[in-house]
Amino acid sequence: MSPTYDVIVIGLGGMGSAAAHHLSARGARVLGLEKFGPVHNRGSSHGGSRITRQSYFEDPAYVPLLLRAYELYDDLARATGREIAILGGGVMVGRPDSRTVAGALRSAREWDLPHEMLDAREIRRRFPTLTPRDDEVALYEKKAGLLRPENTVAAHLQLATRQGAELHFEEPMIRWEPYRDGVRVHTAEDSYTAGQLVICPGAWAPRLLTDIGVPCRIERQVMYWFQPRNGVRPFLPENHPIYVWEDAHGVQVYGFPAIDGPGLGAKVAFFRKGTETTPETIDRTVREEEIRAMADHMSGCIPDLPGTFLKAATCMYSTTPDEHFVIARHPAHPDSVTVACGFSGHGFKFVPVVGEILADLALTGTTAHPIGLFAPARLAAAPAPGART
């Protein structure tokens, strides 16, 4: 039997890597187990960029966590010397009563966040790459921008290792069970015991967390990179913001400036317009009709963007019925197991603060952060989420 650890962390993607860092930083003896290699592209923490924003249209309750996440991202960049965030500003675009605009404005006002409201004419003047309809407006947030997911995961793993965490890659958990005053975890390689278990399963939540009463839909999502028609200069971060753009039918797209050089283009994707899948059956092939649908949609709002298609990549969203996270002690094992799932679509920007919360819960059983919204009991009787169009 391997030596006993204070905490075993299952999954070392965005949330798990952050948990391993925060736990080991507090002196805990940590074992991390990951199904794939470090900083892999088989889940949800890859793709070169993720949006971050504070005027949060999903719910104002997230804003305090975002403010703390911004502080922790700064700490992470300083501690590792890695590029973590590029905060070049961002716009939430749509009709004034759209979820994207009205929700962002609600959060900005409730938390007194710096922002500007722009009409269509002012959007075009400030950001010539964008061509909104006359009835569309935007909330502009100077502190919005993008995060580097691979760098973030690598940085958390780097710090966790430096702080003494033992990280095992290509060693997935087979099962776990209560054991004495803690847990025992089995892999194909060995069995390990610990006082606490933290499970960050990502898209594997439906299989690994069947007993917490949370229906979770796994969706295949596609990210696209296009070379702009007139070159990348107008799409550089100093000229082109990150954006979430909702059309009159409620379809949202999101996108980024060109951040990786002249030949790598700008990234764009539909937001929550995926198809149901599983980690084992996901179709990684991106077809011509999908590329055309993305290009056709973007031609109506950013005409110069879909110039030349460069590449595409798939990832997976794990989505709860109300699209809010699950962060809590395990309902059936509240003394020894902490769970974190259902983040996809808008979770990566919270990675460092979720790691801090998971360390709190595992080591003390509670946290000062506001996480009441994320209790699994709210979903115990909910049906499985359907696709949103």
* Residues in binding site for FAD: 6-36
Binding residues: 6-36
Tell me which residue of 335, 374, 336, 358 sits closest to 160, measured CA to CA: 358
Q: What is the torsional sign of CA 154, 363, 349, 67?
A: negative
d(CA 339, CA 212): 9
**Residue 21 to residue 153: CA distance in whole angstroms:** 10
Contact 127, 105 (CB under 8 A): no
Q: Residue 191 corresponds to which tokens in the numbers above?
A: 């069995």
Q: What 3-state DSSP class applies to 266?
A: strand
d(CA 239, CA 228): 13
Residues facing 347 on adjacent strands:
none
| Residues 152, 156, 160: CA angle, nearest 5 degrees | 170
